[in-house]
């Protein structure tokens, strides 16, 4: 691996079995899920009980689709083996779990309340059991990035994991432009990981411009906004800072998804939806910047395909599951610079 050094740290699995039922966001189908302890070295595996126990490990190469969710593998009917895995993967990663067997009787995992909090509650109920070994943690030596138009995500060398995410929904004022930064620690990285350090503001802006992700003049102030957010990160734990943030969308986005046969299981009970003026329904936000925090949750779920968060500062702007996964595949390959075309799904 030319651009990455690796290190190991302690990992965990579940101490007991837990179960949950719910409805898939896109399929609208009911599904039962059973989380059981895994074995060291086997990572997270998705087992389809309705397909005779067909099993698939969660890995960067297993991703088959990234439209509005992350899906793994292909079943006999052409649908994914496991779809919308990102919230569960984020909860496992945020808990330090590197091995788990996920049994499900349909393709899509349940959305539950739209966040990772219900998954985290199940994990807390099951408890943790230490493993004798854990995945290797990737630590890039130079910047790695994926981009499309003005959207991008980049992994910058860092002393410890940090995630910084920016979004801009333009005329949809309830969301608008938001930035959120979080220093990953404890379960999301590794027991005994190096102390967390916020990235210096000037370094972040310079690296974004150097990689060509932001114009040198920075006319929209994106590099400056990213750098400001990164220099004042949230240091609360995953369970308090990230897990409760719910999935969200706009009325235009929901209409387009419905037209494409997606979000058939979505409702205002499990998602935040806004028009150009206000949020629909009467459910209050859990955080002022809940949308940016939820995008960070999605990013963690996709990075979890690496086994644990990389020792890097991941900065994203207007990114998507497609860009997240391209970055993950580039990091897994050990290559530096821009992700190759083959890394995109």
Distance CA 166, CA 154 (A): 12
What does 198-249 look like in DSSP terms, one character per residue? PPPHHHHHHHHHHTTSS-TT-TT-HHHHHHHHHHS-B-S-HHHHTTTPPPEE
Strand pairing of 162-168 and 312-317? parallel
The answer to whether the Cα torsion of 119, 309, 240, 96 is positive or negative is positive
| Residues paired with residue 238 on neighbouring β-strands, in sequence order | none
Q: Which residues have C-beta within 8 Å of that of residue 22, sequence separation ≥ 6?
A: 30, 31, 33, 109, 110, 111, 112
Residue whose C-alpha is closest to residue 2's, from 137, 159, 204, 138: 138
Whether 321 is catalytic is yes
Strand pairing of 337-338 and 144-148? parallel
Distance CA 305, CA 303 (A): 5
For helices 86-94 and 117-126, the axis angle rounded to 10 degrees is 50
Joined tokens for residue 46: 């998705």
Q: Which residues have C-beta within 8 Å of that of residue 333, sequence separation ≥ 6?
A: 1, 340, 343
DSSP state, residue 340: P
40 close to 131: Cβ distance less than 8 angstroms = yes
Catalytic residue among 26, 81, 321, 343: 321
Residues forming the active site: 321
């Amino acid at each position: 691996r030319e651009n990455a050094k690796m290190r190991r740290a302690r990992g965990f699995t579940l101490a007991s079995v837990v179960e949950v039922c719910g409805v898939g966001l896109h399929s609208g189908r009911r599904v039962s899920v059973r989380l059981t302890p895994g074995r060291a070295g086997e990572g997270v595996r998705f087992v389809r009980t309705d397909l005779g126990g067909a099993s698939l490990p969660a890995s960067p190469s297993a991703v088959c689709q990234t439209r509005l969710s992350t899906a793994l593998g292909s079943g006999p009917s052409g649908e994914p083996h496991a779809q919308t895995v990102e919230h569960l993967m984020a909860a496992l990663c945020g808990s330090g779990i590197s091995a788990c067997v996920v049994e499900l009787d349909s393709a899509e995992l349940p959305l539950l309340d739209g966040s990772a909090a219900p998954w985290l509650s199940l994990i807390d109920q099951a408890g943790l059991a230490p493993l004798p070994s854990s995945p290797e943690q990737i630590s890039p030596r130079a910047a790695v990035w994926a981009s499309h138009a003005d959207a991008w995500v980049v992994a910058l060398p860092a002393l410890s994991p940090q995630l910084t995410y920016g979004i801009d929904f333009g005329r949809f004022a309830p969301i608008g432009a938001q930035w959120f930064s979080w220093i990953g620690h404890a379960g999301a990285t590794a027991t005994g990981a190096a102390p967390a350090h916020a990235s210096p503001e000037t370094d972040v802006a310079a690296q974004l411009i150097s990689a060509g992700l932001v114009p040198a003049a920075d006319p929209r102030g994106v590099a400056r906004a990213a750098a400001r957010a990164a220099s004042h990160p949230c240091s609360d734990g995953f369970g308090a800072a990230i897990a409760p943030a719910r999935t969200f969308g706009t009325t235009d986005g929901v209409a387009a998804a419905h037209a494409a046969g997606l979000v058939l299981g979505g409702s205002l009970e499990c998602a935040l939806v806004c028009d150009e003026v206000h949020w629909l329904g009467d459910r209050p936000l859990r955080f002022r910047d809940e949308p940016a925090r939820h995008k960070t949750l999605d990013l963690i779920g996709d990075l979890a395909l690496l086994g644990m968060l990389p020792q890097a500062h991941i900065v994203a702007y207007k990114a998507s599951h497609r860009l997240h996964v391209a970055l993950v595949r580039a990091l897994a390959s050990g290559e530096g610079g821009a992700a190759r075309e083959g890394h995109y799904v």
